[in-house]
Amino acid sequence: MSENTFNDNNKSEFLHDEVYESIPPNYDLINHLFTGGMDILWRKKAAKETVASRPEKILDICCGTGDLSISVAKLAAKDAKVTGLDFSRPMLDVAVKKAQKAGYDITFVTGDIADIPFPSDSFDSMCIGFGFRNLTYKNELSAQYISEILRVLKPSGRFVIVESSQPAPDAKIIKFFHRLFVKYVVSFLGRIISGNSAAYKYLAESAVNYYGAEELRDLLLQSGFAKVTFKRLFFGAAAIHVAEK
């Protein structure tokens, strides 16, 4: 497979998913704007966790425009093989260019997490940056996605999730302002800047109602992971979970 190019296997009906077909031009900018640039730091932290076990084969799922894949490639051992997987072609177009510019040999693959185009027990580490909510929030395929992730992860492999989260249950004031910000500011500004009101309405609705850190830990344990730890980021606006198979 040539570097920084597409392996176009496993096309699915989701390939032309409307939401992600129209976001790419402003996608990165909007992310940085909404988090005050903290998403960059959060991906770096997640990348550090992903390579902590010295993996040789790493898969970044829902890799989008490739920022987490590149962060991982920067920190991984020189001979480690990093792959990014996403079903959105426009997102991967941006990822390929970014990886080339940054000088990293990353393979980007088009495919659906519902049917990951790799054999069982393929990867030492896997990660996902701000995509797990898409896979598990009110999503009827949620169990299938998690079971596919478990299938391609090697025994004892780690799966690192960086995702928006909820302030700790007892932090009532922070919770109030967090809800206000996500519900109104994110959907309003996202619509104005991207022109895609459906995408940012979904983002705001799902972010406000998504699992808290403890709930996500419990979901992962119930789904078959052997051990799960987590760290809250910025008062719980986001969290990093490390799940071991």
Ligand X SMILES: C[S@@+](CC[C@H](N)C(=O)[O-])C[C@H]1O[C@@H](n2cnc3c(N)ncnc32)[C@H](O)[C@@H]1O
Going from the C-alpha of 30 to that of each of 6, 76, 187, 229, the distances in angstroms are: 26, 28, 11, 29
**Phi, psi for residue 106 in degrees, rounded to 5:** -115, 135
> Which residues from 120-139 bind ligand X, rule CB under 6 A?
129-131, 134-135
Q: Which of 68/96 has CB closer to ligand X?
A: 68
Q: Is 88 in the site for ligand X (CB under 6 A)?
A: yes
Going from the C-alpha of 203 to that of each of 8, 135, 197, 237, 245, the distances in angstroms are: 28, 13, 10, 14, 29
Q: Is 236 in the site for ligand X (CB under 6 A)?
A: no
Q: Is 87 in the site for ligand X (CB under 6 A)?
A: yes
Please name the helix (run of DSSP H) or strand (run of DSSP E) that holds residue 225, with its range, or none: none
Q: Is 34 in the site for ligand X (CB under 6 A)?
A: no
Within the chain, residue ranges assigned H as helices are 18-21, 24-35, 38-51, 67-75, 89-102, 132-136, 142-152, 172-180, 187-194, 197-209, 213-223
Q: Is 6 in the site for ligand X (CB under 6 A)?
A: no
Of the candidates 112, 124, 148, 163, which one interacts with ligand X according to CB under 6 A? 112
Nearest approach in angstroms of CB 113 to ligand X is 4
Q: Which of 64/236 has CB closer to ligand X?
A: 64
Q: Is 163 in the site for ligand X (CB under 6 A)?
A: no
Q: Is 58 in the site for ligand X (CB under 6 A)?
A: no
- Interface residues with ligand X (CB under 6 A) are 14, 20, 43, 62-64, 67-68, 86-88, 91, 112-114, 129-131, 134-135
